[in-house]
Amino acid sequence: MKLDRDPLWNPAQPADVELARLQGLLAPYAARRDRPCPAPQPASLAARRHRPLLRMALAAGAGLVLLLLAGAVQRFWWPADQPWRVQSAAGETRLAPGQHYQASATSEIAVARIGRLQLAPQTRLSLLRTRTGAHRVALEQGRIEARIWAPPGWFGVQLGAAEVIDLGCEFVLQRDADGSGSVEVLSGWIAWRLGDEDRLLPAGYRFDFGPEAVGIALRPDAPAALRAALRDLAASTGTARLTLADRVAHAARDVDAYTLLDLLTREPALADTALYPRLAAALGMAAEDAAHRAAWARGDVAAINAWWAQWPVPPKAWWRHWRDAWA
């Protein structure tokens, strides 16, 4: 067949019905002299047009990351022994390591750049040391409210032989001239350290302490019956302690779970009393596990830690309290 007689190659030749129909459908897309076809563009040319936008977006993202890193470094970094800023009604002063400060009125001390201390009138403290990762003061007498946003252990308050270690939180610390006092945690956790012994305290609880000892963790609104039972238990000896432990269990509420957990951790032998099933009920654990109860009473660390793991907030999650960064 000659191509010039084929209507597919020579539009002047008559087409059959089906071909004519297809030609009619495709006619709007036919090339015309009065409508030149645009020159084909390689795909790479279209991609090049978007590259500047992509570069700008990547540069902006990298700049934001660098800005955040610079802000974090600037906030946490502190030159060794650089004085802290103290603000009071009398004006602004500086507190250097080794110096004492006594507040004649309400005062505020900037803890490097990681937080602040609010001092009640007649509070006396001293700055022991300050550098990146290690800021320590000694509270001699009075009341401070600390609000810290930093990794665990960066800030601490010495109280004679003991020390309160911040784990990223807000807490109120009161100390009298005889060395007794209290610490209450408003957010996060603190650790009470005395020698090799550490006691954890979460938000919503407080410790009362003496010069070389600390009491059982209590909620500020703990019932009077629970407080009295704990005092009597602390002063008792022998078999009387078993009856007093039952009194503590009877007076405790579910919200006092940490009080019971703290008490049974310190005195595991009391797991043989009503304290064990009461704590189980508060934590939603099974009280019928005789093997676990016996192991706890023996002071088995794994058995005790199994219930500690039920506590909802881990002590080192200081970054969860990000609002404290803008104290």
Q: For the segment 257-290, what is each residue's pLDDT rounded down to a tens digit? A: 999 999 999 999 999 999 999 999 999 998 889 9
Can you tell me the mean pLDDT for 190-215? 92
pLDDT at 34 over 80: no
Residue 2 has pLDDT above 50, yes or no: no
For residues 259 and 61, which has the higher predicted lDDT (pLDDT)?
259
Bigger pLDDT: 106 or 325? Answer: 106
- Domains in the chain: boundaries: 68-215, 223-310
Name the pLDDT band for 3 (thresholds 50, 70, 90): very low
Top mean pLDDT of 5-19, 37-51, 112-126 is at: 112-126
- 124-169 pLDDT, tens digit per residue, is 999 999 999 999 999 999 999 999 999 999 999 999 999 999 998 8
pTM of the model: 0.75
Do residues 86 and 100 make contact, with C-beta atoms less than 8 angstroms apart? no
* Residue range 110-137: mean pLDDT, rounded: 97
- Give dist(CA 122, CA 101) in Å, integer: 10
pLDDT at 318 over 60: no
Comparing 8-22, 110-124, 206-220, which segment has the lowest mean pLDDT?
Answer: 8-22
Structural Rg of the chain based on CA atoms: 36
CA torsion sign, 211 to 217 to 222 to 227?
negative
**Where do runs of H (alpha helix) occur along 223-288?**
224-235, 240-251, 257-266, 275-283
Rounded Cα–Cα distance for residues 244 and 231 (Å): 10
Q: For the range 191-195, what are the long-range contacts, defined as Cβ-Cβ under 8 Å and sequence gap of 24 or more?
A: 191/164, 191/165, 191/167, 191/315, 192/162, 192/163, 192/164, 192/165, 193/162, 193/163, 193/164, 193/165, 194/161, 194/162, 194/163, 195/161
Give the percent of the chain with pLDDT over 70: 73
Predicted local distance difference test score (pLDDT) of residue 276: 97
Q: Check pLDDT > 90 for residue 70.
A: no
- Do residues 130 and 158 lie in contact, with contact meaning Cβ atoms separated by under 8 Å? no
pLDDT at 40 over 60: no
Mean pLDDT of 173-190: 95
Query: Which pLDDT score, from 0 to 100, does residue 214 have?
Result: 92
Nearest to 198 by CA among 316, 303, 324: 316
Do 182 and 209 touch, CB atoms closer than 8 A? Answer: yes
Q: Which residue has the higher pLDDT, 18 or 270?
A: 270
C-alpha–C-alpha distance, residues 198 and 156, integer Å = 13
Average pLDDT of the segment spanning 24-32:
66
CA distance 65 to 71: 10
Checking if the pLDDT of 68 tops 50, the result is no
Instruction: Indicate whether 302 pLDDT > 80.
Output: yes
Q: Class of 68-215 per CATH?
A: mainly beta
C-alpha 225/C-alpha 247 separation (Å) is 8
pLDDT range class, residue 29, cuts 50, 70, 90: low
Mean pLDDT, residues 54-68 taken together: 56
Query: Rounded distance, CA 112 to CA 130, Å?
Result: 8
pLDDT exceeds 80 at position 30: no
User: For the residues 36-55, what does the mean pLDDT come to?
Assistant: 59
Average pLDDT over residues 287-314: 91
Min mean pLDDT across 59-73, 162-176, 241-255 is at 59-73
Say yes or no to pLDDT of 327 above 80: no
